Amino acid sequence: MKPEIALISPIHATGMVELNEQYIVHRVWEAPDPKAFLASIADRIEVAVTSGLRGAKAWEMDALPRLKLLASFGVGYDGIDIAAAKQRGIIVTNTPDVLNECVADTTWTLILSTVRRTVFNDRYVRAGRWLSGPAPLSDKVWGENIGIVGLGRIGRAIARRATGFGMQIGYHGRSEQKDVPYRYFADAAELARWAKILVVACPGGKGTEKIIDERVLQALGSDSYLINISRGSTIDEPALIRALQAGTIAGAGLDVFVDEPRVPEALCQLDNVVLQPHVGSGTHATRAAMAKLVTDNVAAWFAGRPLLSPV
Ligand code: NAP
C-alpha cells in the first residue's frame, strides 16, 4: 500500500512523475473547495509538498493536524508560514545549493543585457533602425564595482563570476563574512553609492521588505544599475519605477516582481529595463535537480532517514 501525501501545488514534471510512482498523491490545488478537501484527507496526511512561491498558510497546517513534513520546491520559503510550522512541530525542507549556479547565470544574463543594452539593441535591429545609423553606445561591465545585497550561496556564485570580469566586489548583509576577500558595507545605501551595479540576492520576507528603497536608489545614482533576482518584496517597486522614469538610476534588470505574474505596465514601457518572468533557476537540469531534492526529502522521511535539507 503506497503512503499518501498532499500536493499543495504542482512541482517540476520529473518530480511529479516520481511522486505519482511512489505515493497516492492528493492534488490540493485542483480542489474546488480546498478546506473541505484537506478535511477529507486529514487523518492520513503526515507529508505535504508545496513550492516556495505558493508556500503554505497556517490554516492549511491546521487543516492537516497530523502533518509532520512540509517539503518545498525552491530555496526561498517566504511563502511558508515558518513560525506556524515551528509551533506545530512541522519540519520544512527546501532546495538549496542545487540551483546556485543557474541562478547566478541568470543574474549575469541580466547584468550584461541591462548594462550593454542587449534587448534594446535587438529591438533596434529588428525595427530596421540600424539602417538610419548606429545604436547609441552603452556603459561597461568589465572592471566596474559590483555590490551584492545578500552574499549567500547564490550571492557567492554571482561574485565568483564577477572576478572573471575584473570587478571590485562589495556586499551588504546583517554581518560581515570573514572568509571572503570582498569589501563589507554595513549600510545598503553605502554599498549602492560605491557600486556601478547593485545586485539583490537576499531572501524575501519581512526582514528584507523594501530593503531597496528611495534612499538606496538615490545613493545608487544616475549612472548605475539595479539587478533583482531575489523577490519582488525586497524593492519598493513604485519608487523604482519613479527612479527609472526620472533617470535617478540608469537602468534595471528584473527577474522578480511584487505581484507576479502581473508586471506594472510602467516597467514594460521603459527602454532602460530588462524583464524576465522569474526564471532564475529555470533550466531543465536545475529544475530536475530541485525536484529530486524534494522527492529525496520525502523518501528520507518515509524511510526514517535524516532529511537532506531541513530549513
Ligand atoms: P542564503 O544562502 O540564505 O543567502 C542569503 C543571504 O542574504 C545571506 O548572505 C544573508 O546574510 C543575507 N540576508 C539575510 N537577511 C538579510 C537582511 N535582512 N538584510 C541583508 N541581508 C540579509 O540564500 P540563497 O540560497 O543564496 O538564496 C537567496 C534568495 O534568492 C532566496 O531566498 C530566494 O528568495 C532567491 N532566489 C531567487 C530565484 C529566482 O528564480 N529569481 C531562485 C532562487 C533563489 P546575513 O545572514 O549576513 O544577513
Return the ligand 1 atom nearest residue 175 CA.
Answer: 47
pLDDT attached to residue 97 = 98
Compute the distance from residue 208 Cα to the ligand 1 centre, in Å. Answer: 9
pLDDT band for 120, please (50, 70, 90 cuts): very high
Bridge-based pairing of strands 197-200 and 183-184 is unpaired
Is the CB of 111 within 6 Å of ligand 1?
no
Residues annotated as part of the active site: 231, 260, 278
Mutation choice for ligand 1 from 151, 154, 208, CB with most ligand atoms inside 8 A = 154
d(CA 191, CA 56): 34
Residue nearest to atom 20 of ligand 1 (CA): 173
- Mean pLDDT over residues 125-145, rounded? 98
CA-wise closest residue to 199 among 207, 214, 188, 183: 188
**All CATH 3.40.50.720 domain ranges in the chain, comma separated:** 4-98+285-303, 100-275
pLDDT band for 231, please (50, 70, 90 cuts): very high
Compute the distance from residue 267 Cα to the ligand 1 centre, in Å. Answer: 24
Residue nearest to atom 11 of ligand 1 (CA): 173
Question: Across all residues in the chain, what is the average pLDDT?
Answer: 98
Which secondary structure element, helix H or strand E, spans residue 38, and what is its range?
Answer: helix 34-41
Q: Which cell numbers in the block locate residue 112? A: 550584461
pLDDT attached to residue 113 = 98
CA-wise closest residue to 97 among 115, 71, 74: 74
> How many C-alpha atoms does 142 have within 13 Å on its Cβ side?
1
Q: Which cell numbers in the block locate residue 268? A: 514594460
Cis peptide bond prior to 261, omega within 30° of 0: yes
Enter the DSSP assignment of 167. Answer: -
Compute the distance from residue 193 Cα to the ligand 1 centre, in Å. Answer: 21
pLDDT band for 286, please (50, 70, 90 cuts): very high
CA-wise closest residue to 184 among 154, 135, 148: 148
CA 68 to chain centre: 26
Is the CB of 297 within 6 Å of ligand 1?
no
Alpha-helical segments (H) within 116-223: 118-126, 153-164, 188-194, 214-220
pLDDT band for 165, please (50, 70, 90 cuts): very high
Is the CB of 278 within 6 Å of ligand 1?
yes
Return the ligand 1 atom nearest residue 279 CA.
Answer: 40
pTM as predicted: 0.97
pLDDT attached to residue 39 = 97
Return the ligand 1 atom nearest residue 202 CA.
Answer: 7
pLDDT band for 7, please (50, 70, 90 cuts): very high
User: 100-275 belongs to which CATH class?
Assistant: alpha beta
CA 22 to chain centre: 29
Place of cell 566586489: 169
CA-wise closest residue to 275 among 104, 102, 52, 114: 114
- Mean pLDDT over residues 5-12, rounded? 97
pLDDT (tens digit, 9 = 90+) per residue, 21-73? 999 999 999 999 999 999 999 999 999 999 998 999 999 999 999 999 999 99
Residue nearest to atom 3 of ligand 1 (CA): 152
- Mean pLDDT over residues 115-144, rounded? 98
Mutation choice for ligand 1 from 182, 202, 206, CB with most ligand atoms inside 8 A = 202
> How many C-alpha atoms does 297 have within 13 Å on its Cβ side?
29
The CATH topology of domain 4-98+285-303 is Rossmann fold (3.40.50)
Compute the distance from residue 288 Cα to the ligand 1 centre, in Å. Answer: 21
Bridge-based pairing of strands 91-93 and 69-73 is parallel
Other Cβ atoms closer than 10 A to 168: 16
Which amino acid, residue 82?
Answer: I
